[in-house]
Structure 1
Amino acid sequence: MHLLFATSIVPDGSLGSGYEIANAAIVDALRRAGARVTVLGFTWPGSLPADPDQTIVLGSVDVRNETASSMQKVRWLAEAVRSGSTFASAKLRGPGADAVRAAIRRAGHVDGYVLNSVQMAGAYERCFEDRPSLFVAHNVEAQSARENAHSAPDAFQRLLFRREAQLLEALEARLCRRARFVFTLSEEDRAALGVATDGRSAALPLVTRGTPPLAPVRREIDCDAALIGTWTWQPNRVGLSWFLDEVVPHLPDDFRIRIAGAIPAGLTSSQPGVRFVGRVPDAHDFIRRAACVPLISRGGTGVQLKTIETFELGLPSVATSSALRGIAEKPANCVVADDPRAFAAALRKAVAAGPRHVDGRGFYEAQRAALDRAIARGLAALGSVGQEACA
């Protein structure tokens, strides 16, 4: 079976974001199941696809709002309004539909499309209607847009997010309706998308690496808690703001917190123990040097890849209930707390107990086996299309 995996950004091997980690895990699982996968999409400026022989590149694009000029944002918004598409899909519409159709033809015969999230599928929806499809819903995007509208800092942004939510709700409904099978990244999202029956969808338990983690080894601890993420993404920012504003005040001044990743303008902390360290060369090494890892999601949909990564490494953690979406079984050294005071108390207790490893290899193997089973169900549903056509 030859599948065309249509995505906004093609895997380049860097695994620099949760989205890219998820994409690599899904493509690897499809190939383990025996499918031939050709990836279609864009690269980041200056990057190359990880697997150039099985990738068709439409061009390079930087879709990040935080790095775009004001004029670029105006052009994206104008294209979104002109085309009736979402702001996110408008960023990908540069090549045009004819160029996308030509790229699809270059892939040769394909048995079906894997429409990876809504951005690419929404930008060129009509281009992917001539073959059966699988739809990978990384999040319930309409719900995320509504949450973003609620937390937006001004009326104009609230208006934009409400527009996105309205368009995304209709787009997600169409993609789910047309898809032979829908993959989500958490069980909750199946019901939210209206595809909760087993014959229509499955949740994908993800992994963040191609090989199992190493056995636990002694760690050098240089801070009490470490967080890393793309904090400029609104759902992540909401979680970080909650942590800084509501949890950190209940921690002692000498509690050492290190926060890595891009920080949005205006986000600060007056707590003496908090340090923003920017980009770090090795994310695994960074969090392994913390006595405990706070997992601070406060909303959104989909799955938290940082939670999975922490559990694969066997590190002690304190997690909100939202951070455990898509996790079938939490490790023994993870404490769940949603109240800010209880979260802070759990952090203090975890640090006082000293580094408490568990072996993350069992968690990794269980996640990967469940991922492969879910992928097999989707491919079986897609394969039945060809069987019906021949009957």
Structure 2
Amino acid sequence: MHLVFATSIVPSGTATTGYEIANAAIVDALRRAGVKVTVLGFIWPGAAPSDPEHTIVLGEVDVRTDNASGLQKASWLLRAMSTGLTFSSVKLRAATPDQVRAALASIGPYDGYVLNAAQFAGAFEDVFRDRPAIFVAHNVEYRSAEENAAAARGLMQRVLYTREAGLLRGIERRLCDRADFVWTLAEDDRPLLGIDRDDRSSALPLVTRLDPPPPPGPRETTCDAALIGTWTWQPNRIGLEWFLGEVVPHLPADFTVRIAGKTPSDLASAHPGVRFVGFVPDATEFVRSARVIPLASRAGTGVQLKTIETFELGLPSVATSRSLRGIANVPDNCMIADDPVEFARALVDAARNPGPDADGRAFHAAQRAALDREIARGLARIADAGHEAAA
């Protein structure tokens, strides 16, 4: 079987964002199942595809809103309003639908599509109707937009997120209805999308690394707690704001917290132990330097890849219930707390009384085996759809 993996951004270099890590896990699982995969999409400016032999690049785009100039943001907004597209999808209209069709024609014979997330598929809805398709719902985008609207500070931002939510609800409904099968990244997302039947969809357990993690071993800790992420992404920001505003005030003055990743300039903390460290060269070593990992998600759908990575590394953690969506087996060294006072108390206890790290290899192996099973289910369905179309 030959499938086209249609995605916003094609792999280039080391996967760093949650979106890229999830894509790498899914493509690798497809290829383990014997599928020939050709990846189609845009690429970051100045980057080169990791697998050029099996990649079709439509052009260069930078879809990060926080990187865009005011003029670029205004242009995206005007185009979105005039075309009826979402703000996220209009960024991908750097190519026309006819150019996408021409790129597909250059691939040669193929059997179907894996439509990876609503942004790209929503930008080119009419292009991918000629063959069987699996839709990958990384998140329930309309629900995330609703949560963003509720958390928005200004009227204009609230109006824009509300508009996105309404458009995304329709796009996701159409993509799910047309797809022969849907993969979500969390079990809770299936009913939100109206596809919670086993013949229509399944949830993909993910891994953040293709090879097994190392066994537990000695590590040097330099802080009590460490968080890393793209904090300019609104669902991540909501979690970090909750952590800084609700949890941190209950931590002792000598409790040290390090926060890595791109952070909005208006986020700060008066706690003497909190420090924003920006970019770190090695994300794994950064989190391994902490005695405990706070997993503080409070919004969003889909799966938290940082949660999976923490469990693969066997690190002690304190997690909100939202941080554990899509996780079937929670390790014993993860404490669950949704109340900020309890969350802070659990962090202090884990940092002051450290136990041994867990062996993350068992978690990784279980996730990978379950991923392969669900990939096989979707492939069987798309194969059946191809046979029905040919009959």
TM-score scaled by length of structure 1? 0.99
Partner of 1:389: 389
Deviation at 1:355, TM superposition (A): 5.0
> What does residue range 82-231 of structure 1 map to in structure 2 within 5 Å?
82-231=82-231
- SS, match of residue 302 in structure 1: coil
Partner of 1:275: 275
Partner of 1:70: 70
Deviation at 1:290, TM superposition (A): 0.1
Partner of 1:319: 319
Deviation at 1:386, TM superposition (A): 2.2
Contact 1:296–1:323 (CA<8 Å) still a contact in 2?
yes
Partner of 1:26: 26
Partner of 2:300: 300
Partner of 2:249: 249
Equivalents in 1 of 2:201, 2:317: separation in Å?
A: 31
Equivalents in 2 of 1:168, 1:248: separation in Å?
A: 35
Equivalents in 2 of 1:11, 1:324: separation in Å?
A: 26
Deviation at 1:356, TM superposition (A): 2.5
Contact 2:45–2:62 (CA<8 Å) still a contact in 1?
yes
Equivalents in 2 of 1:335, 1:69: separation in Å?
A: 42
Partner of 2:371: 371
Equivalents in 2 of 1:323, 1:183: separation in Å?
A: 19
- SS, match of residue 72 in structure 1: helix
Deviations 1:296-349 (A, max 9, x none): 000210000000000000000000000000101100100000000000000010
Equivalents in 2 of 1:231, 1:385: separation in Å?
A: 41
Deviation at 1:390, TM superposition (A): 4.0
Kindly, what percent of the aligned residue pairs are identical?
64
Equivalents in 2 of 1:110, 1:259: separation in Å?
A: 45
- SS, match of residue 202 in structure 1: strand
Change (3 A) 1:336 1:387: same
- SS, match of residue 107 in structure 1: coil
Is 2:36 aligned against 1:36? yes
Query: Structure 1 stretches (4+) deviating beyond 6 angstroms?
Result: none
- SS, match of residue 301 in structure 2: coil
Equivalents in 2 of 1:31, 1:156: separation in Å?
A: 44
Which blocks of at least 5 consecutive residues in structure 2 are unaligned?
A: none
Partner of 2:54: 54
Equivalents in 2 of 1:231, 1:311: separation in Å?
A: 21
Equivalents in 2 of 1:52, 1:389: separation in Å?
A: 31
Partner of 2:9: 9
Equivalents in 1 of 2:356, 2:226: separation in Å?
A: 15
Number of matched pairs: 391
Amino acid aligned to 1:84: G
Contact 1:291–1:355 (CA<8 Å) still a contact in 2?
no
Contact 1:114–1:134 (CA<8 Å) still a contact in 2?
yes
